[in-house]
Amino acid sequence: MTPEQLKVAADTGWVLLTAFLVFFMNAGFGLVEAGLCRKKNATMILSKNFVVFAISTLGFYFAGFGLMFSDGGLLGTAGGWLLGGADNSPAVGSRYQGIFGSLNWAGVPLLAKFCFELVFCGTSATIVSGSVNERMKYASFLVFSLILTAIVYPIAGHWVWGGGFLAQAGMKDFSGSTVVHSVGGWAALAGIIVLGPRLGRYPAGAKPTTVPGHNMGYVFLGGMILWLGWFGFNPGSTMSLDPEAIARIAVVTNLSACTGTLVATLYAWWRHGKPDFSLTVNGCLAGLVSITAPCAYVTPEASIIIGGIAGITVVEAVVMFDRLRLDDPVGATSVHLVHGVFGTICVGLFGVKGYGGLAHDGLFRGGGFAQLGAQLEAVVVVGAFSFTTSMLAWLGIKKGIGLRVSPEDEVGGLDIAEMGMEAYPDAIEMETRSQEEVRIRPPDTSRLTE
Amino acid sequence: MTPEQLKVAADTGWVLLTAFLVFFMNAGFGLVEAGLCRKKNATMILSKNFVVFAISTLGFYFAGFGLMFSDGGLLGTAGGWLLGGADNSPAVGSRYQGIFGSLNWAGVPLLAKFCFELVFCGTSATIVSGSVNERMKYASFLVFSLILTAIVYPIAGHWVWGGGFLAQAGMKDFSGSTVVHSVGGWAALAGIIVLGPRLGRYPAGAKPTTVPGHNMGYVFLGGMILWLGWFGFNPGSTMSLDPEAIARIAVVTNLSACTGTLVATLYAWWRHGKPDFSLTVNGCLAGLVSITAPCAYVTPEASIIIGGIAGITVVEAVVMFDRLRLDDPVGATSVHLVHGVFGTICVGLFGVKGYGGLAHDGLFRGGGFAQLGAQLEAVVVVGAFSFTTSMLAWLGIKKGIGLRVSPEDEVGGLDIAEMGMEAYPDAIEMETRSQEEVRIRPPDTSRLTE
Amino acid sequence: MTPEQLKVAADTGWVLLTAFLVFFMNAGFGLVEAGLCRKKNATMILSKNFVVFAISTLGFYFAGFGLMFSDGGLLGTAGGWLLGGADNSPAVGSRYQGIFGSLNWAGVPLLAKFCFELVFCGTSATIVSGSVNERMKYASFLVFSLILTAIVYPIAGHWVWGGGFLAQAGMKDFSGSTVVHSVGGWAALAGIIVLGPRLGRYPAGAKPTTVPGHNMGYVFLGGMILWLGWFGFNPGSTMSLDPEAIARIAVVTNLSACTGTLVATLYAWWRHGKPDFSLTVNGCLAGLVSITAPCAYVTPEASIIIGGIAGITVVEAVVMFDRLRLDDPVGATSVHLVHGVFGTICVGLFGVKGYGGLAHDGLFRGGGFAQLGAQLEAVVVVGAFSFTTSMLAWLGIKKGIGLRVSPEDEVGGLDIAEMGMEAYPDAIEMETRSQEEVRIRPPDTSRLTE
């Protein structure tokens, strides 16, 4: 084996293992969402998060991957449907003659690239899932996910990662603050506008009602799984074992997560009087989303500042969306949309020329607006496109099969109405038994006296 | 360091990391099982799934590994007990002179091979665990697991992976649809025949009673962990960083999981009227089990078909076992036995000559019955052996220490009877407190009116 | 790319991926702790375990890493704050001229070393978390964690891993039985002495009250995650893909976990009459902690003995701490302190000269007290230092902001008092609904009759 072949082999292992970590983020999203919502909708939420990756896989396999990465102008038109099209990437040992010019910088086999890009596409769809919880029909969500992953995400992605006009304008989004998180966030925002808030969330003339979640254990574990997954998301985006780069990306990713976590905790403590645990987790996620675009381009010091800012803005964003009466049960827009945009801009603010091949220093490093301009253009263009096309898709589905369950089903819970199955189905039986035991065996209050 | 040494080093990292993912499947099996069963048996189920890997490790270390992989005829007799026996695999830098001829194709050190094979053996034992839940004694399960992992699994495995007569007949089972899943499935089937159904499951002259599980959050997370684990299970079975192979195996594994998930969801929706979440997860697992044997030998297109078929057959298999009054609380036989057999046959139907060194095209690719015959022979031989020896083991244990708890213990729950500990032990105390709070603070119904 | 560069690349991948596994242990600790404690304190416990890694990261980044690994006498004084200081490790291609002489044996980039060392530091802080549960203030724990990870842990660590006097005396602690587990354990012990037991735990003139945990599902999953994480903890400590070493370390780590699991289960069964599941999990962890120091230096046979002893001592340690009226809700001192010490000593008992560069055979292999003496010295010195400095820190915090919540808050639960959020916030609403349903639909007792 030659060193070149060995490098491809080791890189492929790295790409797949980090892709597996990103895949596992589906579990994290499902748990965070279910935990922050009510018990009566938990099966539906979990089921959506299980099925959505299957939908994403098929959407991306049949159409998305080709649209996103095959050669072409406004979208990839050279092929790539059903993984067709010549590979001929460096991994296969000859000069590149394939149809995936935009992925030619990575030496691993085409199917490894597909694996890695697929799990990113899947992440985008799960972001939407959270925002529309507790009132949307199961079938309608599945249809939207297919549209998002087969069409909307790939086209926007083509412009940034597929060699499109934003890439040519110098825009840089290393791991997808824009491509993954903003696109998902805009799609979610369009969804909650069309869908409307949950019943009773914004009573006329009164403060918004707080709807309690049902399981902080899920929120904890889901948050930890997402944090873990981001160690695949960001360092894996190198698609090669570049030792200096992956180590630095891992460090800055973690630092931003940590300051996001801590600042959100302390800020919520100061602002709301208690260290709100759901904001702790959302602070971590905001720090992670914010460092996703700039992770290859900034210093550890900058990542600390980026995460710290995200820790404050996420708390305020939750308040802002509530003021706007946009009902997002899990704060997905606050985390992914707001900080997808913020992270994208951070490349233009904190970027270091030369890091990860960045062409210009960021504004705060004296580089002027050269990089920042390209970033802002992408924010606006991708935002306008994702929001508009998603809105059209939501409206079309609403017209076609309807979006929202009946008020009765919403009050009674989507689990019984849509899924025919409660999340904790033997609870009634057990509760009865326990009550009998309570009667027989009253609680031993002596245990509470010292 | 030479490129040869580097390759061994990188391959060893790959083998160990994928083995760790497979190890983690124990958590997935435990959660799926506990979630699909009742609260009153949850501690028992979780405990079994925690301890079973310890049992498997000792069984495989003391006897199984040697029986399975050391040189010999009908079983490995050249040694290998307690990891004894010369390694001398390519990893140790000399021509092979050890006693593990059947593992000599892999260049990593012997202990890395042991790690990887061990986690597969452990999987086989966890399959049995699910089927016998809610009525079997803790001790009896532990004894059976030891027999399975020290004797039954290794002998059947020797025939396929240890250079035995099925391997010589050309049978191919890349990651163990037969070796792991069928063997575990047949052992489970024998167990539930000897054990009988749970009390009240099949009332005379009436339809089978549905016994609700107790936690769909466990089922969700367990399913996601298993899906993740399969990315170790299948691509790791290369035991080397062959870039083209591992990327393709990862892609086909995932495609089959996805069509299994989606088709089972839609088919159950059509057949039962609701998109049953437990069938969604079992559909995913059926797709994964089915692609386990053929993952190295088939195209992505074929994997889509394989998973799609599995999505239907898993729904029907659950119904079939219920018709036969074979009570499997979690559907482990429907998933692992039925689709272990199906996946094994798929090699003979969809296999592509040359992929993974396959000697013949499958039936559907015009290769006739050459490969299919070898696959069918293995299905029959391994099935007959595993079922018979397992049956003998179950009957022996029944005679020796008994298999089944008393009806009182079954009704009251195995957690109190066998484990002396409930799964949610402070529930009674907390419930009392909550009820007091409910009295003080009646639910705010205004929250439910818009 | 040269083979040397390739090796650095592959090693860096290994170091980061195993570090990610160790990071995920935070989820495992949080789940085990929350599961073994009561529902009314669960949000607090989960939140602590989420935030503590953020605290550790900042403490280690700002001060700890420099104190621990930069060159110096009693502590590292050559720099390293905020990741400053020259790297110049082999990874950067020149002869070493940096300030981290004690890490120069590893060829990966400095930031990869930082990642790996950071997750170990974080583990130390999570150990403390478990012991002080159910009565300590949130803020006080956060302050202590910062002191531990920025000062106490790094200084003790400097002596063993940073080239300090214990290292020079020949003490060997491969993955941190002393550095991580004992230090965390001593800090926890000091904490529970200063803090006192939970209300009602040790009623005057009566046996200690057993306080039930609230969720064995958490305990199961947490235990599995920790077991998984240890496959990063121990094999990753090589910081390089040494194939023979990492495979052997993985095998011995697992064997010790398995005998720890099984022996603790059987011993508790015999001693207490039931196979206590929490002792099953703690037996596994005790086996893992015990093999952490010697994992590179012992044979598989020795690891079986080490884990087996740990399975007994962990059961007895829980009883002993209760006799001493030291209230540790999750048994963290029994697991980490007792077995951190035990594991450290095992290097001097079972070590094999030459394995992992060990200079002397252990006592049981005829090596006399040469190695054992160095190990015992470290146990005493690190124990005295960690316990004393931790005690001072706890007393200082107690004087400054107080350590313990009010008795009312302790009885009512820390979740409401400290976090303003219950772990299962919709339980009251749902319970009311369920009770109504129970009234309408009495449980179908026919299901329980065959």
Contact status, residue A426 vs residue B213, Cβ threshold 8 Å: yes
Q: Name residue, tokens 């969402």.
A: A33
Task: Name chain C contacts of B424, Cβ cutoff 8 Å.
Answer: 214-216
Which pLDDT value is given to residue B438? 40
In 10 A of CB B210, how many CB atoms? Answer: 10
At C404, give phi and psi (nearest 5°): -110, 145
Burial of residue C444 (CB within 10 Å: 0-12, 13-18, 19+) is exposed
Please give the share of chain B, as a percent, with pLDDT higher than 70: 92
Which pLDDT value is given to residue C206? 86
Closest by CA position to B341, among listed B317, B368, B358, B357? B317
Q: How confident is the model at residue A1 (pLDDT cuts 50, 70, 90)?
A: confident
Task: Name chain A contacts of B2, Cβ cutoff 8 Å.
Answer: none
- Asked if B26 and C450 come within 8 Å (Cβ–Cβ), the reply is no
| Whether A118 contacts chain B with CB within 8 A | yes
Helix (H, G, I), strand (E, B) or coil at A136: strand
Q: How confident is the model at residue C427 (pLDDT cuts 50, 70, 90)?
A: low
- Determine the number of helices (DSSP H) and then strands (DSSP E) in chain A: 18, 0
| Eight-class DSSP state of C406 | -
Q: Give the tokens for residue B324.
A: 């036969």
Interface test with C, best of B8, B14, B421, B435 (most C CBs within 10 A): B421
Identity of the residue numbered A184 = G
Does A443 score more than 60 pLDDT? no
Residue contacts between A and B (CB atoms, under 8 Å) = 203
Give the gap in angstroms from C-alpha A439 to the nearest C-alpha of chain B.
Answer: 10
**CB neighbour list of residue C6: distance below 8 Å, 6 or more residues apart:** A3, A6, A7, A10, B6
Closest by CA position to B262, among listed B309, B199, B325, B297? B309
Cross-chain CB nearest to C241 (options B10, B57, B221): B10
In 10 A of CB B252, how many CB atoms? Answer: 27
ipTM of the complex: 0.94
Task: Name chain B contacts of A422, Cβ cutoff 8 Å.
Answer: 212, 216
Does C444 score more than 60 pLDDT? no
CA distance A356 to A365: 16
Q: How confident is the model at residue A92 (pLDDT cuts 50, 70, 90)?
A: low
Read off the pLDDT of residues C148-197 as tens digits, 9 standing for 90 and up: 999 999 999 999 999 999 999 999 999 999 999 999 999 999 999 999 99
Closest by CA position to C381, among listed C224, C196, C171, C176? C171
Greatest CA span in chain B, whole angstroms? Answer: 80
Q: Where is pLDDT greater, at A203 or C95? A: A203
Read off the pLDDT of residues A264-279 as tens digits, 9 standing for 90 and up: 999 999 998 999 999 9
Q: What is the mean pLDDT of chain C?
A: 92
- Asked if B30 and C220 come within 8 Å (Cβ–Cβ), the reply is yes
CA distance A96 to A90: 7
Read off the pLDDT of residues A341-370 as tens digits, 9 standing for 90 and up: 999 999 999 999 999 999 999 999 999 999
CA distance B155 to B160: 9
CA distance A3 to B7: 9
Read off the pLDDT of residues A29-38 as tens digits, 9 standing for 90 and up: 999 999 999 9
Does C278 score more than 50 pLDDT? yes
- Asked if A428 and C421 come within 8 Å (Cβ–Cβ), the reply is no
Does C428 score more than 80 pLDDT? no
CA distance A217 to A35: 7
Does A438 score more than 50 pLDDT? no
Task: Estimate to the nearest angstrom the gap between the alpha carbon of C79 and the chain centroid.
Answer: 27
CA distance B180 to B189: 14
Interface test with A, best of C1, C20, C61, C114 (most A CBs within 10 A): C20
Which pLDDT value is given to residue C449? 40
Give the gap in angstroms from C-alpha C425 to the nearest C-alpha of chain A.
Answer: 5
- Asked if B10 and A9 come within 8 Å (Cβ–Cβ), the reply is yes
CA distance A246 to C120: 19
| Eight-class DSSP state of A135 | T
| Residue B404, strand partner residues | B136
**CB neighbour list of residue C93: distance below 8 Å, 6 or more residues apart:** none
Read off the pLDDT of residues B173-222 as tens digits, 9 standing for 90 and up: 999 999 999 999 999 999 999 999 999 899 888 889 888 899 999 999 99
Please give the share of chain A, as a percent, with pLDDT higher than 70: 92
Read off the pLDDT of residues C5-55 as tens digits, 9 standing for 90 and up: 999 999 999 999 999 999 999 999 999 999 999 999 999 999 999 999 999
At A136, give phi and psi (nearest 5°): -95, 150
Q: How confident is the model at residue B427 (pLDDT cuts 50, 70, 90)?
A: low
CA distance C124 to C120: 7
In 10 A of CB B93, how many CB atoms? Answer: 11
Helix (H) or strand (E) segment spanning residue C335: none
- From chain A residues 44-83, the ones with a CB under 8 A of any chain B CB are 46-47, 49-51, 53-55, 57-58, 61, 82-83
Read off the pLDDT of residues A147-175 as tens digits, 9 standing for 90 and up: 999 999 999 999 999 999 999 999 999 99
CA distances from B272 to A281, A417, B212, B320 (A): 38, 14, 16, 15
Contact status, residue B321 vs residue B302, Cβ threshold 8 Å: no
- From chain A residues 189-248, the ones with a CB under 8 A of any chain B CB are 199-200, 203, 209, 211, 215, 218, 221
Give the gap in angstroms from C-alpha C370 to the nearest C-alpha of chain B.
Answer: 30
Contact status, residue C11 vs residue A13, Cβ threshold 8 Å: no
Closest by CA position to B49, among listed C182, A409, C220? C220
Residue B351, CA atoms < 13 Å, CB-side half-sphere: 37
